[in-house]
Amino acid sequence: MLPFRTSMTLSIIEFFCTVLLYVVYALNQYGTEQAIFISIGFLPVLLTLLLYRIVKNENAILRCFYITMSVTSYIISLRLEILGMLILVYMAQGLIIALYSRTRILVEYIVLTVVALVVVGIFQRSVITLFFPMEIYMIFMLVYCFGMVTLLFLVTGVNSYKQQMEEKNEEARQALEAKGNFLANMSHEIRTPMNAICGMAELLSQQDLPEKTLGYVTTIQNSSESLLSIINEILDFSKIDSGKMNIVEEEYHFNSLIHDVLSIIEFRMRNKSVKLNIDIDNKVPRVLVGDELRIRQVMINLLGNAVNFTHRGHITLRVRWVKNDERNGVMEVDVEDTGIGISQENITKLFVAFGQIDTRKNRNVEGTGLGLVISKTLLNLMGGDIWVKSKLKEGSTFSFRLPQKVKDSRPSNYAEDLDRIYSKNEDYVITFRAPAAKVMVVDDNKVNLEVVKEIMSGFGIEPTLVESGSEALNRIEENLVPYDLIFMDHMMPFMDGVETTQKIRALDTEYAKELPIIALTANAIKGVEKQFKAAGMDDYLAKPIRIKQLSDILQRWLPVDKVVRVLDGKEMIKEEKKESQEAAAAPKKDILDCLVGIAVEEGMRNCGGSKNAYIRILQTFASSNLLASLEEYYEKEDCQNYGIIAHAIKGACLNIGAKEVADLAFKLELAGKQDNLAYIKGNHNNFAEKYRGTMQMIAKAMIG
């Protein structure tokens, strides 16, 4: 069946041509006056075109057309004394209408035209016989009725088949949606316990464990990270499969993109004897406009495959820039390896979902087989394309072209900067350590966090790794750990580093306002320092991280008493200072005995069994400002935020073993979520008194 507009357009053109032939015939046989009269046949066409503009009901437009067409066709045929041809006009028009018409409309048209032709045959025989004998007219009538009935059956059958196909399509759509929902829901359900496994494994890795046990923990960490990677690929594929994958074009710095990609790949190659070559065109513009997250994902997928299937030789990342004009160009990327290669018959299987070639030989290679499918789809969504050249046992080259807009056309000069950074890192010797420093690093990329962690370990620092701005903000709000310094990634999704810093500074505490925050950025260009300081940041550290620059930042912003000088690889620390530090770290014998109503043993278990760690947590608890925030939201009758603060207090109380206060906080948390202001008003004062009393008791124990 044709679309309505197509069917109506054909009907109008057909009838217009028919009327035009009538006009020409009338002009030749009867003269100008008769031809002008016959021109009334154009009225149905004009009327239909007018209805197109003022009426949206398709059936109403179609009915108006076939009724006026039928009437004018009869008037014209009668005037020209060719009524015998009326059957042919009606049949031709009926065929066109049937291409669109629903069964009911076609039945109406057939009934109207058959009745009209029968009436004409009965009452106007004299006019019909002027054109041909009445017997011929009757034969035409029978053919017309048979043809229209046949056409009606065909239309009914087509409509029935169309309805069945629509039902099957709907079933298929629902099945596809159910599959996508199943993949997404299962992935989320799996990811929740996997995050817990990763977190607990990370905590275990920081404990003083036997070497064999630590090896088991490392295996758990690596396996859980691999599983999370697979889950994320399945989530991406389900989004693509359901058409929910969106491309978000924003400004991004090319150097930052390449740095993140290389940091991840170098980390994956740390146990491989494969050389990574970088060949990047210095003419690539400094700032581009595109979806940085998806471009980075494609590069990591291609380089990751090269790492998995290359066991000797080299991997080369090559980037070229083809300039179209000042504001547009094409990024050309090649990933070349000397790996196992791909046979020509297997190349067509590369971009098939869940497909891995030579599966028997590559069982040791982890993955879903979705990486290349996702990469190709993402590139197509961004207007690019991907292809591969490969020879078995010699290596492969994956290439893609991607159009990008240009924001800042100045050259990025990535290769020159990288050489300078590496040379400075190799020459620098660490001159101090700060093992007691509390440092937080915020970055949305896990591998970047691991890289920073590895670099900071050279300074004896074990940083807290945080993957989002919102998590960093929550940690500062709760103030359970007094951080000395925060390194904040500039470009992060949902809440970037600038916004996170501004929200931290907006907290009504001296700690949040004075805490040093250092921007981590690849945007190390002139004027950027002023921008970061205007946002509340104290300094910035350029990526890729230079050890010398990191050293300067740490010495500039860490507390002096936490920095220990190093000479010939040995820490220089005075004996009296060492003794005072040991004395300060040693737990006071009478502190824990003064804690009435607190499950001390449970609190110590929460701190890994360390008394010193438990006492530090108690000190932080006693100096917390959460009660002030709770009072503020209580006064404002803001139940939702009240519940959020109550949740934080509950967690803090459970950590130290204050179960009774935690239970009260939990009930207030639920009341806040349910907007139960009456319960909050009835129980707030009692809770505040007990919570304040607990903090005061801990504070006195610390003093005494």
What is the pLDDT, as a whole number, of residue 417?
A: 58
148-162, 521-535, 616-630, range with greatest mean pLDDT: 148-162
| pLDDT for 405 | 93
Under the banding of pLDDT at 50, 70 and 90, the label for residue 598 is: confident
Structure-token pair, residue 248:
């978000």
Q: Are residues 566 and 477 in the same domain?
A: yes
Residues 6+ apart with CB under 8 A from 181: none
486 within some domain: yes
pLDDT at 697 over 80: yes
**Model pLDDT, residue 364:** 43
* The pLDDT value given to residue 180: 61
Q: Which residues pair with 396 in a beta bridge?
A: 337, 390
CA dist., res. 472 & res. 465, Å (int): 9
pLDDT the model gives residue 35:
86
In a domain, 191, yes or no: no
Residue 555 lies in a domain: yes
Q: Indicate whether 410 and 436 sit together in one domain.
A: no
Contact 692, 666 (CB under 8 A): no
- Rounded to an integer, the average pLDDT of 395-413 is 90
Strands (E), 616-662: none
Domain end residue (candidates: 418, 443, 460): 418
Q: Which of 132, 153, 176 is the last residue of a domain?
A: 132
C-alpha 317, offset from chain centre: 26
CATH number of the domain bearing residue 478? 3.40.50.2300
Regarding whether 361 and 283 lie in a shared domain, the answer is yes
Whether 254 and 369 map to the same domain: the answer is yes
CATH assignment of the domain containing 675: 1.20.120
277 and 375 co-located in one domain: yes
Last residue of a domain, one of 359, 383, 418: 418
In this structure, the answer to whether residues 276 and 409 fall within a common structural domain is yes
> What is residue 415's predicted lDDT score, i.e. its pLDDT?
67
Q: In the chain, pLDDT over 90 holds for what percent of residues? A: 11
Question: Is the same domain home to 436 and 461?
Answer: yes
Tell me the per-residue pLDDT of 286-337, one tens digit each, with 9 for 90 and over.
Answer: 889 998 878 988 898 899 889 888 888 999 999 999 999 889 999 999 999 9
Mean per-residue pLDDT over the chain, rounded: 79
Most confident of 167-181, 186-200, 623-637: 623-637
The secondary structure of residue 587, as a DSSP letter, is: P
**pLDDT tens digits, one per residue of 121-164:** 888 888 888 777 888 888 888 888 888 888 888 888 887 888 88
Helices 58-79 & 86-98 angle (0-180, nearest 10): 170
Query: What pLDDT was estimated at residue 400?
Result: 94
Domain identity same for 302 and 413: yes
Residue 209 lies in a domain: no
The answer to whether the Cα torsion of 458, 459, 462, 468 is positive or negative is negative
Angle 278-283-287 from CA coordinates, rounded to 5°: 95
The answer as to whether 138 is a domain residue is: no
Distances from the Cα of 180 to the Cαs of 138, 177, 235, 294, 400, in angstroms?
A: 62, 5, 9, 20, 28
**Cβ atoms 96, 10 nearer than 8 A:** yes
Contact 589, 562 (CB under 8 A): no
pLDDT of residue 423: 44
Q: How far apart are CA 232 and CA 220, in angstroms?
A: 18
Kindly report, residue by residue over 243-296, the tens digit of the pLDDT: 666 787 888 888 878 877 887 787 677 677 788 898 988 889 988 999 887 898
- Residue 232 inside a domain? The answer is no
Residue 170 lies in a domain: no
Confidence of residue 366 (pLDDT cuts 50, 70, 90): very low
Phi, psi of 250 (to 5 degrees): -140, 165
Confidence of residue 571 (pLDDT cuts 50, 70, 90): low
Give the pLDDT mean for 85-95.
82
pLDDT digits (tens, 9 = 90+) for 640-688: 888 888 888 887 888 788 888 888 988 998 898 888 999 999 999 999 9
Alpha-carbon distance 425 to 544, whole Å?
10
| For residue 198, pLDDT beyond 50 | yes
Let me know whether 435 and 480 are in one domain: yes
Mean pLDDT is highest, among 8-17, 88-97, 522-531, 681-690, for 681-690
Q: Are residues 65 and 93 in the same domain?
A: yes
Per the listing, tokens 């207007």 go with 383
Count of domains forming the chain: 4
Do residues 58 and 4 touch, judged by C-beta distance below 8 A? yes
Same domain, 299 and 321: yes
Domain that holds residue 403: 250-418
What is the reported pLDDT for 363? 41
pLDDT at 317: 93
- Domain-embedded: residue 148: no
Note whether 411 and 439 are same-domain residues: no
* Cβ-Cβ contacts under 8 Å for 666 (sequence gap 6 or more): 646, 650
pLDDT tens-digit map of 369-392: 567 888 888 898 899 999 999 888
> How confident is the model at residue 648, as a pLDDT?
80
